Each structure stands twice: as C-alpha cells, then as structure tokens.
Amino acid sequence: MIDLAENYRKVSDRIRMAEVNAGREPGSVQLVAVGKIHPASAIRELAACGQRAFAENFVQEAIGKQHELEDLQIEWHFIGSIQSNKTRQIASNFSWVHSVDRFKIAARLNQQRPADFPPLNICLQLNLQDEETKSGLSAKSAIKLLDQIHDFERIRVRGFMIVPKPVSNPSEQQAIFAEVKKLLEQVNSLGHTLDTLSMGMTDDLEQAVAEGATHVRIGTALFGPRPPKKTM
Ligand SMILES: *Cc1c(COP(=O)(O)O)cnc(C)c1O
C-alpha cells in the first residue's frame, strides 16, 4: 500500500531541505504532482493532504480525471508532448502548459485559449543535450521562438522546462540545470521577463532546486511506481 500522506510529507521535506541548502527562501519552490497513469482517486487523496497543482501527460486521460475531480480546486498543468489536434482541449482545460516546443503549437494555444479565461501560462521545453529522440528546443531556437511569440496576448510565456537525459553522476545532472538557469538570465537580460524554471523530478529535485528550479514535477516519489499504461 502506498501511504500518500507520508510520501507527501517526505517530498515536502526534501524540497524544504533543498531550499535551505541552496540558501533559497522557504516556499520558493512549487511542487507539481505528476499523476499520469494513476487514478483520480489517488489525486483526490493527495489533494486532501493539501496539494493543489497536478500535472498530466495525456489529454484524454487528463480530461477524464478533471471531470471526476471537478468539485476540487485543482490547478492543472499539462506536461506531455502536444499534437496539434489536441491544442484546443489543452487550451481550455489547463492553467499551465510546460511542454511547448514549436511555433505552431504556441500559435494555436494562443488562438484557442477561451477569451473569458486568464492567459495560459506556458513554458518552452528545452533540449540542451542534443537528443534526437526527445522533444525540446535548443537554446538558439528557444530564443528565436520567444521573440516570435513575445506579443501573443492569450498565452503568457513564463519560462523553461527541461527533462534532462539521465546522466550517471549528480553534478553532471546539475550542470544541465545550471545551463537552463543561465539561459533564463540571458533572455531576461535581452528584455524578456521570465520567472519560471520547471525542472527537477523524483531523482534529481535537489540538483534542480540548487540551480533555481521554481517548479519541480514529482510523480514516483508521491504516487509510487507507475503501473504499465493500459492500451485503450
Ligand atoms: C512523468 C514525468 C515527471 C515525473 O517523473 P518522476 O520521475 O516519476 O517524478 C516529470 N516530468 C515529466 C515531463 C514527466 O513526463
């Protein structure tokens, strides 16, 4: 049996400790609980512990859970890869999208965000390790995309997200997070006002917080290992 309240305490303690060790203000890092593949009942249980921000990777799965949980005050984040035929549903069912990595997707989210909603918070997903197989922007293409979408009114670009390729030693992992932070400082010195670094997962949240993460996305340490995804 997974004790969600206990896991929630442990993860909250890890975040607090990492903040202290990095000399950062307590509470400056937000926990985003990643519920992919886990049932709505587990999310409900964690919400009862006080967790408010939840992230999902798959649109259909997310919308089903949102329906079941609509009595709760949850802030929903989308962190999965985005097909352009799903942007309308994403634009109208989430507060944050962390995984934008193409102009076309940003433009569609901007166009499809309902007019009576606040602007959609987005992060540009980076890939600084040149992985062919994973989505994400190089530093250069991220800067270019930022300039292209700068004046979009229905999306608000908040910062960067990264899922680094696992590397064997923690300091190498931390160096990637440091690069992300440097890029954020660089674009802000060019006139942007980004305030979000979405980085750090179950295995590397300490290194991410040390390099300025504002949002850590934690699944396994909260919900336990993910069961294999059912084929639908
Ligand atoms: C699944 C997932 C997470 C959570 O990963 P854990 O290692 O289980 O904490 C975070 N970010 C993204 C983009 C994910 O897909």
- What gap in Å lies between CA 189 and CA 26, rounded to an integer? 26
What pLDDT was estimated at residue 231? Answer: 54
Q: What is the CATH number of the domain that holds 156?
A: 3.20.20.10
Q: Which atom of ligand 1 is nearest to the CA of 98?
A: 13
Residue 127 has pLDDT above 50, yes or no: yes
**Within-domain flag for 230:** no
Q: Does residue 11 lie within any of the structural domains?
A: yes
Measured in angstroms, how far is the CA atom of residue 158 from the centroid of ligand 1? 20
CA of 15 to the centre of ligand 1 (A): 16
The helix/strand/coil state of 76 is: strand
Mean pLDDT of 83-90: 97
175 domain residue, yes or no: yes
Residue 232 within a domain: no
Overall average pLDDT of the 193-209 stretch: 97
Residue 228 in any domain: the answer is: no
Judge whether 155 lies within some domain: yes
pLDDT of residue 229: 61
Report how many domains make up the chain: 1
Contact 53, 30 (CB under 8 A): yes
Q: Is residue 30 part of a domain?
A: yes
- Residue 130 pLDDT level (bands cut at 50, 70, 90): confident
Q: 74: domain range?
A: 4-223
- 88: Cβ–Cβ under 8 A, 6 or more apart, which residues? 108, 112
Most distant CA pair in the chain, distance: 50
pLDDT in tens, 12-22: 999 999 999 99
Which residue owns the Cα nearest ligand 1 atom 14?
Answer: 79
